[in-house]
């Protein structure tokens, strides 16, 4: 009798140890072998699967499934303190912080028949990431002076100056993703639609405006994924995604980033709601290259007409955080001394009159139809109308929106982005003149702001932390004074997953803006 009881206890203990609350407490022994995970993402289609060019919230989750960096954010975390070895087993840093030596994990295979990872691939990838002609994240590697191969499994990077955030730049995010040199060179322009990485899942097919199919990387260095296939479906309609989830067609969906949706959905018995960081910082960029927005009085009027408190109340406390600077909340270097612009519609009307627009004006604006953008822009449209600024809004699908705003077609650009959490990345990508739309080095400077170039550049090479903070503060002051944009709020990531899904980790953050699917993710039977 005693032995039977012990056996029962052991089996019970095993099941309890394998349980994760988000999965509804199903024992891990009941996972579906060779499962297909159905994911429903917003957006009408992907833009590119080249990691060094992927900037949209539809593309980045896929990049995170197919590629690795030298280091990685621990699954479920977006905190730089949680960086851990990935393709590099270990690294060494010189006493002055300028020389970094990385020892590459041996035996890592690229997807398909593209061979094994070597130091040549790492050198090639990081050199490419630092090249503005081949990468949208070249500015992140401005500190890099040289990168060299020491031997087949060792590389050495020398910096022009110490960069306290350099390790994060080499993570599995943006330019830190490592590519297969031979695949990029042989495929050329086709690489962006036929990516080759080392991640847990490999690219299989893309059906335009329908889905991207990924398959398990059988030779993944951390072990074969328990999920065999991922169908990443692009479904721009929120209601269509929810209906597909309710009917059992989807296992994981991108949710509405609205308080009402979160509160309502949490009452459902079959779904777990995930709200996590980093939030995408919502900003209304004012395109000063389009008259009359080249007149600072008109820009000041727009800033004074926006009621930020109303916007935050609409979005909701669980999913939003009010901003106080052009640098997002919580980023290293954020400075709130200039504060948000004061809501003052009377002042806005006076500024317009002084600029010669006492009877108002009309601005042509391109707006995405996704729920994370359109409802907020409709509120801003009503707010601006109260002071005489009419927004002639062209509502388009998200892919068209991304294309048109990068073609300088919109007077105002409502844009949200999450970046590595340090002031330099945000100031460089959105407020340095080299990042202005229309330039060969363009990233996301939709306002054509150029007033703080000197401070942004000086801060990047400053060795003193205190002086660096002062330079970032001055840059933020100048951008605020010039009214290059109206900072709004940080919008958290909101997803939902079936209780049948066990991510395999606790989800608190994800730099690629979606729950990472790892080799440990499982799907339980219905």
- 100-149 pLDDT per residue, tens: 999 999 999 999 999 999 999 999 999 999 999 999 999 899 899 999 99
Most confident region among 159-173, 376-390, 415-429 by mean pLDDT: 376-390
**Residue written as tokens 């080799």?**
519
pLDDT of residue 269: 87
Say what the pLDDT of residue 200 is.
98
Query: In percent, how much of the chain has pLDDT > 70?
Result: 94
Kindly indicate the confidence band of residue 8, based on its pLDDT and cuts at 50, 70 and 90: very low
CA distance 289 to 363: 13
pLDDT of residue 54 exceeding 70 = yes
Tens of pLDDT, residue by residue over 195-222, are 999 999 999 999 999 999 999 999 999 9
Main-chain dihedrals φ then ψ at residue 367, nearest 5 degrees: -130, 135
Question: What does the pLDDT read at residue 228?
Answer: 98
Tokens of 309: 């408190």
- 357: Cβ contacts below 8 Å, ≥ 6 apart: 292, 298, 388
C-alpha to C-alpha distance for 263 and 256, rounded to whole angstroms? 11
What's the angle, vertex CA 262, arms to CA 257 and CA 264, rounded to 5? 135
Residue 298 CB-half CA count within 13 A? 24
Q: Could you tell me the pLDDT band of residue 5, with boundaries at 50, 70 and 90?
A: very low
What are the tokens at 497? Answer: 């997953």
SS3 for 149-172 is: EEECCEEEEEECCCCCCHHHHCCC
Quickly state the pLDDT bin for 233 (edges 50, 70, 90).
Answer: very high
Asked if the model's pLDDT at residue 455 lies above 80, the reply is yes
Token reading at 164: 């306290």
What pLDDT, on a 0 to 100 scale, did the predictor assign at position 113? 96
- Residues 401-413 have pLDDT tens digits of 999 999 999 999 9
Q: What angle do CA 479, 483, 488 make, to 5 degrees?
A: 90
> What pTM did the predictor assign?
0.80
pLDDT at 4: 40
Which residues are CB-contacts of 224 (< 8 A; sequence separation ≥ 6)? 216, 217, 218, 519
pLDDT at position 330 is 86
Is the per-residue pLDDT at 50 higher than 50?
Answer: yes
| DSSP string computed for 353-420 | HHTT-TT-EEEEEEEE-STTTHHHHHHHHHHHHTTTEEEEEEEE-HHHHHHHHTTT--SEEEEEE--S
Name 387's Cβ contacts closer than 8 Å, sequence gap at least 6.
301, 304, 305, 345, 348, 349, 352, 360
pLDDT higher than threshold 80 for residue 61: yes
Report pLDDT for 518. 98
What local confidence, expressed as pLDDT, does residue 461 receive? 85
3-state secondary structure 87-98: CEEEEEECCCCC
- The two three-digit tokens of residue 90, written as one number: 């270990």
Mean pLDDT of 429-450: 95
- Residue ranges of E strands in 105-234: 144-151, 154-159, 201-207, 211-216, 227-234
Q: What phi-psi label fits residue 360: left (phi over 0), alpha (psi between -120 and 50 degrees) or beta?
A: left
138-176, pLDDT tens digit by residue? 989 989 999 999 999 999 999 999 888 899 999 999 999
Residue 399's pLDDT band (cuts 50, 70, 90): confident
Helix axes 308-315, 374-385, angle to 10 degrees: 150
Residue from 456, 454, 452, 460 nearest 484 by CA: 452
- Asked if 405 and 413 count as a contact pair (C-beta separation under 8 A), the reply is yes
Per-residue pLDDT tens over the stretch 70-88: 999 999 999 888 999 999 9
Residue 208 and residue 81: Cα distance in Å, rounded?
A: 38
Specify the pLDDT at position 16.
Answer: 41
Pairing verdict, β 501-502 and 522-523: antiparallel
pLDDT for 31 equals: 82
Q: Crossing angle of helices 296-305/345-354, nearest 10°?
A: 160
Tokens of 348: 């806005």
Q: What is the pLDDT of residue 43?
A: 87
Which tens digits make up the pLDDT trace of 14-43?
A: 444 444 444 433 444 578 888 999 999 998
Instruction: Check if the beta carbon of residue 391 is closer than 8 Å to that of residue 412.
Output: yes
Q: Mean pLDDT in the chain?
A: 92
Measure Cα distances from 9 to 2, 12, 16, 29, 147 in Å.
11, 5, 10, 16, 56
């Amino acid at each position: 009798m005693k032995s039977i009881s012990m056996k029962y206890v052991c089996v019970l203990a095993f099941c309890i140890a394998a349980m994760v609350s988000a999965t509804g407490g199903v024992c891990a022994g009941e996972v579906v072998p060779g499962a297909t995970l159905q994911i429903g993402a917003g957006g009408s289609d992907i833009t590119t699967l080249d990691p060094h060019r992927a900037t949209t919230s539809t593309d980045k989750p896929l990049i995170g499934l197919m590629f690795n960096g030298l280091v990685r954010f621990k699954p479920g975390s977006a905190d730089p303190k949680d960086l851990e070895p990935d393709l590099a087993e270990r690294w060494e840093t010189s006493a002055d912080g300028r020389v970094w030596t990385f020892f590459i994990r041996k035996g890592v295979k690229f997807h398909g028949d593209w061979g094994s990872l070597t130091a040549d691939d790492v050198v090639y990838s990081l050199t490419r990431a630092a090249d503005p002609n081949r990468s949208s994240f070249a500015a992140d590697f401005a500190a890099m002076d040289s990168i060299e191969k020491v031997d087949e499994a060792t590389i050495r990077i020398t910096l022009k100056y110490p960069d306290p955030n350099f390790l994060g730049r080499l993570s599995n995010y943006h330019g830190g993703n490592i590519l297969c040199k031979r695949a990029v060179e042989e495929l050329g322009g086709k690489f962006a639609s036929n990516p080759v990485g080392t991640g847990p899942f490999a690219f299989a097919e893309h059906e335009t405006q329908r889905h991207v199919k990924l398959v398990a990387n059988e030779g993944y260095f951390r072990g074969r994924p328990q999920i065999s296939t991922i169908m990443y479906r692009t479904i721009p309609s929120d209601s269509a995604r929810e209906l597909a989830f309710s009917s059992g067609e989807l296992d994981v969906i991108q949710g509405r980033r609205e308080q009402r949706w979160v509160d309502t959905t949490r009452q459902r018995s079959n779904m777990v709601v995930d709200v996590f960081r980093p939030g995408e910082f919502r900003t209304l960029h004012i395109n000063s290259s389009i008259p009359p927005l080249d007149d600072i009085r008109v820009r000041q009027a727009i800033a004074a007409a926006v009621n930020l408190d109303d916007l935050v109340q609409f979005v909701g406390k669980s999913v939003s955080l009010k901003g106080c600077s052009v640098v997002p909340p919580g980023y290293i270097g954020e400075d709130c001394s200039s504060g948000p612009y004061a809501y003052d519609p009377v002042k806005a009307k006076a500024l317009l009159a002084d600029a010669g627009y006492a009877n108002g004006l009309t601005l042509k604006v391109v707006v995405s139809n996704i729920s994370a953008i359109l409802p907020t822009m409709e509120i801003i449209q009503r707010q601006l109308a109260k002071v005489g600024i009419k927004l002639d809004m062209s509502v388009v699908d998200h892919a068209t929106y991304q294309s048109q705003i990068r073609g300088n077609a919109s007077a105002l650009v409502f844009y949200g982005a999450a970046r590595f959490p340090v002031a330099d990345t945000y100031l460089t990508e959105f407020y340095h003149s080299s990042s202005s739309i229309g330039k060969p080095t363009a990233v996301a400077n939709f306002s054509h702001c150029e007033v703080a170039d000197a401070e942004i550049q000086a801060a990047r090479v400053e060795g003193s932390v205190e002086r660096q903070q002062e330079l970032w503060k001055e840059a933020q002051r100048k951008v605020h004074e010039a009214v290059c944009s109206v900072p709004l709020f940080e919008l958290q990531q909101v997803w939902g997953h079936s209780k049948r899904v066990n991510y395999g980790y606790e989800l608190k953050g994800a730099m690629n803006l979606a729950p990472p699917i790892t080799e440990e993710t499982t799907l339980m039977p219905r």
